[in-house]
Amino acid sequence: MNGPEIHVEFAPDLALFVQRVLRRTLVTDGVSTLGHVVESAGVPLTEVGALWVDGREVPTSYVPAAGDSVEVRPVERPQRVPGAPLRFLLDVHLGTLARRLRLLGVDTAYESTDIGDPALAARSAAEKRVMLSRDRGLLRRRELWAGAYVYSTRPEDQLRDVLDRFAPELRPWTRCTACNGLLKEASKDEVAHQLKGGTQRSYDVFAQCLECGRAYWKGAHHDQLEAIVERALAEFSGRG
């Protein structure tokens, strides 16, 4: 580029994307939008809450002029996504996060195989789902309905970040962790073909997925799941 110089300050929350250089002078080409300039600097627009130029808010379509002082702010929390019920789509790398969101009753689609960025973006748009990913290239695709970068590699921190950012309604134990279908109460007879002898003798309360038919009961791992649910409810219940 060989055009107008602008002065850009990125919010500290965006430091990850700009190698912690929060203030910089950028040379633009005089025709590209401010949204394009910000993304070229490394920040996906999914992570940008507002753009301010010389004290006034501007849209991403604004074309910066020489000497502009630009402030790039992070998304406000809780972030509202208008136009559809809040629901998510996760890529192949976020399976544990997907299961934990479903455990909390959050509508969460998940691709267990790598179907490619174009297909993920198309599904996000078709189903109006917020795309969650650590792939910055995917989050820059224009077809996305909406998206958000998952900052941590630890499932515990990923879950807290998503709940803090979007404040979804929590309805624990209402969704299948395997397929995202809704659960219903089920009798022992209805799920008997899925039970081994010990389970059949030891448990009497069951649920079953309306979509895939999988049976659920309070088995050996229930205490661990209960702890995840209780932590989430204690910190985030009622924020939506």
Alpha-helical regions (H) of 135-211: 136-139, 155-166, 188-191, 197-202
pLDDT at 196 over 90: no
Tokens of 206: 């069951």
* Dihedral sign for Cα atoms in the order 209, 215, 221, 226: positive
Q: Rg of the chain's alpha carbons, rounded to an integer?
A: 22
Question: Contact, 60 vs 34, CB < 8 A?
Answer: yes
pLDDT at 71 over 60: yes
pLDDT: is 204 or 138 the higher one? 138
pLDDT for the residue 239: 67
**Beta strands 69-74 and 5-10: pairing type?**
parallel
pLDDT for the residue 198: 66
Phi, psi at 233, each rounded to 5°: -65, -40
pLDDT: is 196 or 39 the higher one? 39
Tokens of 210: 């309306």
Would the pTM count as exceeding 0.85?
yes
Q: How far apart are CA 119 and CA 143, in angstroms?
A: 10
Arithmetic mean of pLDDT, 212-233: 93
Instruction: Give the range among 8-17, 21-30, 190-199 with minimum mean pLDDT.
Output: 190-199
